[in-house]
Amino acid sequence: MYIPWFALILSLKVAVFSLIVNLVLGLPLGFLLARKQFWGKEFLDTILTLPMVMPPTVLGYYLLVLLGRNGFIGYGLEHYFGINLIFTWQGAVIAASIVTFPLIFKQVRTAFEGINQQYEQTAQMLGISNFAIFFRILLPLAWPNILVGLLLAFARSLGEFGATLMVAGSIPGKTQTMSIAIYEAVQSGQDTIANSLVIILSVVCVFILLSAKYLSSHKIHT
């Protein structure tokens, strides 16, 4: 079986990095929307959920417009820092992050909303600061649910195609991820390569979904 190691490792690398980005952004945002009241809250939720329903190619196009050499962000990055994100693996990470963000953010919000507020009140009455309550009560109770979101996002990242292709292109040995390599292999008639790639991705995705299922059935009942 032929295994294109580079594409496989690149896909995993992109998925891991986008997971970290989304955990850092999604955890505080999900918590904020679950527990705080502020003006425009549901509007913010809608905006943050938008990538879930938009076609990845549309997201990729937006990113291209924003991050490209003449784009709003891209121009500044290139001009002041000499950074160009288009056709790089870092660009693929941004694309995958945006596409998978709602999966993590939604799951984080639901996870925190599902915790009975009386646990926080109990901990307050026991003299624990609100900041410590987050780490001692809320995060441990929400974590199994958040982990499910992370796994789904990881699987989704591995399969990301549209937005990644728009932003990072398909440069073999540089930005060609697994899912894009499959497309290229089929296009050029290399069926054996396509077959082995498809099998690997399928096995990984089934494994991740089974793990998510296992985790959600072993949750702590709150």
Partner 1 sequence: MTRLYVNIQNSFSFAKRSFFLDVEFASNQKRIAITGPSGSGKSLLLQSIAGLITPEQGKISFGDIVFLDVEKKINQKPQARNISYLFQHYNLFPHLTVWQNIAFPLTKGFFNPRHKSHFLQVEEWLERFELTGLGDFYPEKLSGGQQQRVALARALIKQPQILLLDEPFSALDYQLRNKIRNQIDEWQRKLNITVIVVSHDPEDISQFGNSIIELKNGHGNEIKSYTPR
CA nearest neighbour of 202 among 179, 186, 181: 179
Residue of 57, 116, 192, 202 that binds partner 1 (CB under 8 A): 116
CB of 136 to partner 1, least distance (A): 5
Question: Tokens 């410590």 appear where?
Answer: 132
- 136 in contact with partner 1 (CB under 8 A): yes
- 217 in contact with partner 1 (CB under 8 A): no
Residue of 125, 187, 189, 217 that binds partner 1 (CB under 8 A): 125
Question: Tokens 């496989």 appear where?
Answer: 8
CA nearest neighbour of 45 among 111, 101, 116, 117: 101
69, 86 contact by CB (below 8 A): yes
Size of the site for partner 1 (CB under 8 A): 22
Residue of 121, 188, 192, 202 that binds partner 1 (CB under 8 A): 121
- 146 in contact with partner 1 (CB under 8 A): no
27, 19 contact by CB (below 8 A): no
- 137 in contact with partner 1 (CB under 8 A): yes
Hey, what are 196's tokens?
A: 């082995």
Binding residues for partner 1, rule: CB under 8 A, are 116, 118-119, 121-129, 131-132, 135-137, 140-141, 220-222
